[in-house]
Structure formats: structure tokens, C-alpha cells
Structure 1
Amino acid sequence: MSHGSFDIKSRRAFLAGGAALLSGVASPVLAQDGADTVEIEEEVSEKVRHNISSFRTLRWQPYFANLHKGAILVDTTSRALHYWSEDGETYKLYPTSVPLSEEMTRRGRTSVVRKVEGPEWRPTPSMLKRNPDWPSYVGPGPDNPLGTHALYLSWTYYRIHGTHDTRKIGRRSSNGCIGLYNEHISELFSFAKTGTQVLLI
């Protein structure tokens, strides 16, 4: 069963089908600060999140200065992950799960520092404090909360990973990480590199 992602070839059909939805939506342009970062003012960021209230394709330029090693944008409001390849030829859009609460949600710039197929899972100390009955370790397999693949970020404990529980996708259901269907994290895993830029808004 396919859970629907968009690549560059299907974008035209998607845009044509959603022309009424997309018409009149402004594309904010943000000031670039240096070769590899884009500063997002709070008021502009709020406007961006308001404009992404529906699941739709985006351009990378408002969020990144370049596509060096590719770029991943996670929008926690629309619960969508956007990926652009370094050459700009590949664009993907995936539905995600997002953190349960604002307190668990981290926003800002990070990057992929490690890629693991068949990840192991150890709950963080704060997770074990909230859920003392949880196991301290789960190996790779169908019971692993990280699914089949994980992209580890430079922020401690934060990952973009799969999930075997497909009910979580599209919901506030995680303890801080960003979850994808296993078939989607497998595809993203094949595209993303160590060093791929990541921005959570």
C-alpha cells in the first residue's frame, strides 16, 4: 500500500489539481545571512506557517540559502516533511507525525549526522521518567519505535525515523522526533546524506 509522496514529475499534475487552493498564496522571500544559512524572523516565520495550513508543495528558496548536500524542511503545523536534492531535480513531500506538545517540539536548524538502517531504541531519561514501565532498550525489528530507518540529527535525542504504527502519522503523537511511514523513511534515507540540512518550523 502506498501512502502517497510527491516527486518532481508528479508536481505539475498536483499543482493543476490544486490550482484553486494554491491561487493567491504568497511566497515569502527571506533575507539570507551568509553562505549556508537563512535567518527567519519570527513574524515572517509565523506568516509562513499560516500559509502552510494545508498539505502542499513548497519551494526551497524561502528557507535555505542553497541545496548543498540536500535540504529537509519539517513543518510541524501542516505535519509535512519536504525534501530537495542537492541538484534540485528531486523533490519529495511526506506526511509526518509531530511531537505531542509544544514543550516537546524543537524548531530551528540542524543537520543529519548519522544514518542507521535497523536502528536500536533507548528511551531518553525524561521518557522513562514519564513512562517508568517502558523497556530501557528495544532492538531492531517490528517492535522498535524507530521503524526500519533513522536519520540522527545534530540535536541530542532528535531523529527523523520510521514507525510501525501507521496510526501515528498525521498526528501529534511523538516524544519529540519526526515520524514517517516506513516506506517513506526508506526512500528519504536513500536520498539524504550525512550533512543534509534540516530546518524545523
Structure 2
Amino acid sequence: MTGSIFSRRRMMVATGAALATPSLVLAQEVPVPETHRRNIMSFTTQRWQDHFDELGKGAIVADISSRALHFWSGDGEIYNVYPSSVPRTDELTKRGYTKIVRKRVGPDWTPTASMMERNPELKYMPPGPGNPLGTHAMYLDWPAYLIHGTHDTRKIGRQSSDGCIGLYNHKVEELFALAEIGTQVRLF
């Protein structure tokens, strides 16, 4: 009886080793280029040079697929990455180049015509805890598109907006202080 237990153990070890070997070999053979590395949050590394000719007053890249907003200061000394909410659908997603044209602490919110069409119960909201724009907003030169905060932290990291890029309130406050009017923005 002892001989059969030993044989079973031996067979199990040999089978486990045989199954693990291809995975170990593959894991060692696949180099990951620096531009495709991802951190634990799935943010893809970005370089401002891949999106803009110069930094100017600063640069923001909103990466819709990895749900991250990248910011570089105009002098290139600051590079921050923020988790973000992104538009729910491709129809709501505007992609391309724009810039920050206005900033506001305590923004008020008025639903767009398309929002009202989907939900006629939506109404104007003054600044405050229920406001979907959170504590700070940066308006882009595309009408009705903003980078703003949110009081609903469940939205961050998800496809949950009607076109805007949302950040945690404490993160949008940080970005608001860093990003100047005229900061170039790319959504892709």
C-alpha cells in the first residue's frame, strides 16, 4: 500500500511539472516594450511627445481605453496620471484635440438636450453635493465637454459619463490648480 501512495505522489508531481513548464517558458520569452507597460490599474504609459509638438502651457491626454488622464506641466517638471470616468458609449465620445478655455470652482450643471431626451426628469443643479460636475470643472472649447469632478466615486474607472472626463473631486482640485487656461488637451 505504501508503494502505491508513493507512486501517486510521484505521478502528481511529474504531471504538475509537465503542465507548468510551457507557462514558465512563455513567461520568460515575451518582452514587454516600455510604451505598452501597464500598471496595476491598466494605465498605459504615455509620452506628451507622441501627442503634441510642444508642451506650451501644459498638456493633457485623456486615454479613453485605459480610463486615465495624463497631465504634463508646461515646464515638463510635473507628470501626473489620474484615474477617470469616460463616456458610456462611442456615440457620446468625442475624440481629437481641444484646449481648456475656462475653469470654475463650484460649477452649476444644466443637462444637455440629448440628456433631456433620454431622461426628461433631469433639471438644472446649482453647485453642491448632488451636482454631477463635482467641486471643480475645466471647460473645453468643444461645447458641453468638460473635465470635472464627481461626488459619485463609483463612476471613476468606468464608462459612466455622457461625454465628459470625470475625476475624483480631490484629484480634479489638484489638476485644476496645475492646468492653466490654454492647456492643450487630446482625447483618444
Task: Give structure 1 stretches of 5+ with no counterpart.
Answer: 1-19, 28-50
Q: What residue in structure 2 maps to residue 145 of structure 1?
A: 132
Q: Which amino acid aligns with 1:107?
A: R
* CA distance in 1: counterparts of 2:92 and 2:71, whole angstroms: 23
**Distance verdict in 2 for CA 1:81–1:57, change over 3 Å:** same
Q: What residue in structure 2 maps to residue 119 of structure 1?
A: 107
Deviation string 1:84-124 (CA, Å, 9 cap, x unpaired) is 00000001000000001000001000000000000000000
Greater Rg by CA: 2
* CA distance in 1: counterparts of 2:185 and 2:141, whole angstroms: 10
Q: What residue in structure 1 maps to residue 20 of structure 2?
A: none
* CA distance in 1: counterparts of 2:115 and 2:142, whole angstroms: 16
Q: What residue in structure 1 maps to residue 170 of structure 2?
A: 183
Q: TM-score normalised to the size of structure 1?
A: 0.75
Of residues 89, 95, 98, the one that matches 1:101 is: 89
Deviation string 1:52-111 (CA, Å, 9 cap, x unpaired) is 772143221111111101000000000000000000000100000000100000100000
Deviation string 1:104-155 (CA, Å, 9 cap, x unpaired) is 00100000000000000000011001100111x1000001000000000000
Q: Is the 8 A contact 1:160 1:179 kept in 2?
A: yes
Task: Give structure 2 stretches of 5+ with no counterpart.
Answer: 1-27
Counterparts of residues 42-57 of structure 1 (less than 5 Å): 51=36, 54-57=42-45
* CA distance in 2: counterparts of 1:111 and 1:52, whole angstroms: 28
Cα RMSD (Å) = 1.5
Q: Is the 8 A contact 1:85 1:91 kept in 2?
A: yes
Matched length: 156
Large movers: runs of 4+ above 2 Å: 51-54
Of residues 165, 180, 183, the one that matches 1:193 is: 180
Counterparts of residues 30-69 of structure 1 (less than 5 Å): 51=36, 54-69=42-57
Of residues 108, 121, 145, the one that matches 1:158 is: 145
Q: What residue in structure 2 maps to residue 74 of structure 1?
A: 62
Q: Tell me the SS of whatever aligns to 2:171.
A: helix
* CA distance in 1: counterparts of 2:37 and 2:99, whole angstroms: 22
* CA distance in 2: counterparts of 1:113 and 1:163, whole angstroms: 20
